Chains A and B, each alone.
Chain A
Amino acid sequence: MIIKTTKSIPSSEITDPLVFKQRRQLIKAMVAMGLTGSGLYSDVLKASEDKAVLTPTAAEIVKNHTNYYEFTFNKTDATKLAQVLPTDPWSVEITGEVEHPGIYHLEDLLSQQSIQEYIYRFRCVEAWSMVVPWMGFPLANLLKKVKPLSTAQFVQFTSVYDPDHMPNQKDKAMLEWPYVEGLRIDEAMHPLTLLATGMYGEKMPKQNGSPLRLVVPWKYGFKSIKAIVKIELVKKPALTTWSKSGPNEYGFYANVNPDVPHPRWSQNSERQLGGGFFTPRRKTELFNGYAEQVASLYSNMDLRHFF
């Protein structure tokens, strides 16, 4: 399912049909050759044909520009460093206020889901952005299977803790590890919120959060936690890693909002990666352009206070 926006998309952002087709063919070829394994991606091709979609940023950029602080504080080295992380087998613990808690094999979780492609904007709190074709499924579909209790008000996510393979966890560097994120239950159940297992028609590269990561397109990138090992349904909001580290700078909500600057820098515009030099910056949109779908979640909230 692709969430279409009714807004017109500037022609510069529409993929050249030729490029688009080539990419489709490439994916088809790969699926045919069985390169993507398990056949999880066979549903992909049905989605998003002939639709005016955002132009994805070049895959090479997305694969080589990551904030994966468990490995490194720069954006390039995780491409190499993350490759040592063992991701197979992988299990996810689902616990807390839920009818069917348990430790699930990732394969089992995925076998119940249909993986589709979702092309979303991705806006980093550092004021750069990209457009990523994620492969995944709505988090809601998973939550519905495990059945949250009525007491579940929030969802808390925890990343893998593996200091043997993650140098900055070993050094106890900068943040408190493991990385923790959270969403309000209605945010978690929103159809735009994904659990992603791949991108660009391929399995998720390790540096991008393999094997399972969150994608919340209307929030700053740091909300989209990588390498998830635990999903907890809880009564109270999690004290998330970044808000613990800088409570005045990174809030629980972290909704993209050009009118609420970070205390030290503006969020008014963003540099779109993959553009050339002198390409104008993009004016940042409220909720990263997804206001139509998500603004109602925050209708009674002061977004300056709940940043």
Chain B
Amino acid sequence: MNFSSKKTYLISLFLCLLPLLGIIIDLLFDNLGADPIQTLHIRLGDWSLRLLWLTLCITPLQTFTRQRGMADYRQMLGLYVFFYASLHVITYVWIDQGLDWGNIAIDVLQSSYIWLGLLAYIIIFLLAISSPKVAKKKLGKNWKKLHRYIYIGSIAVIIHYYWQLKGNMAEPLFYLITLSILLMFRVAVWFKNRKFNKMMIPTTKRIKVVTVKKLSEDQSTMVYSQKLVVEEDD
């Protein structure tokens, strides 16, 4: 697969819309079950989570395959995460709660799993609006720092997911394990870089060759010896 071709990019762009298409078809054919609002809400949330996991796959994939030009995919997937997460939030606020802000406030305050969802959404929102190239340029070094918050976001997402569950654990376990693997990759890279950096960073120490002259023991001749001295720089 050639990730730098425009065709591949466009196909991916289209593929990410398929879940939404599926949901719309089920909506039109009244195929969302006995609790359609909940189903709609959950399915949008599920896809947002899955796409976030995929987004987190890009960097390791790039490292292992040494493919170039994958950053564009990371951006695209990330924006889709934002897209599905926004629909998930809109479903909750507008369709489920009917914009009843009083009840929404109570619901959010009393539901700890929503706090985590909210935290994740705020992070995803900030990353989405800082996604364009202009923003990237403006933020400079801070852009990368900001976008590392996605790790906190993804942990918030998995807790959000777990805390609203009552029953079944198979699917959430899959997501927990995959997220752990993806985050472990980051930790491994971070460790490796840290060690590597230690070796590469120029120290402030200087090594000097010092020549020492001394009279020989019988005081007849001068003896010259050289030794290496490590000097601390001021």
Contact = CB atoms under 8 A, between A and B. Distances in A.
Given A69-B167, A281-B96, A281-B97, A266 B110 contact: yes
The main secondary structure of chain A at its interface with chain B is loop
Chain B CB within 10 Å, residue with most, of A65, A128, A174, A281: A281
Interface stretch (B33-41, B81-89, B219-227): B33-41
Q: Which of A64, A269, A283 has the most CB of B within 10 A?
A: A269
B159 to A, nearest CB: 10
Interface residues of A, number: 32
Give the interface centre of A74, A128, A266, A274 by most chain B CB atoms within 10 Å.
A266
Contacts of B167: 67, 69, 73, 174
A243 B103 CA distance: 28
Contact of A75 (B35, B36, B37, B111): B35
A76 B166 CA distance: 16
A264 B98 contact: no
Interface string B94-108: 111110100100110
Contacts of A89: none
Given A174-B168, A264-B163, A266-B110, A281 B34 contact: no
A76 B33 contact: yes
B168 A74 contact: yes
Most chain A CB inside 10 Å of its own CB: which residue of B35, B97, B112 = B35
Contacts of B163: 264
Given A73-B168, A280-B98, A268 B103 contact: yes
A271 B169 contact: no
Given A61-B34, A65-B34, A128-B35, A264 B96 contact: no
Interface string A70-85: 0001111000000000
B106 A128 contact: no
A265 B164 contact: yes
B113 interface: yes
A279 B37 CA distance: 10
Contacts of A280: 98, 100
A217 to B, nearest CB: 19
Contact of A278 (B38, B95, B109, B111): B95
A65 B33 CA distance: 8
A17 interface: no
Given A61-B34, A75-B34, A268-B107, A278 B98 contact: yes
Contacts of A65: 33-35
A111 B163 CA distance: 46
8 contacts: A61-B34, A266-B111, A268-B103, A268-B107, A268-B110, A269-B106, A278-B95, A278-B98
4 closest residue pairs by CB, A with B: A73-B168, A65-B34, A266-B110, A261-B110
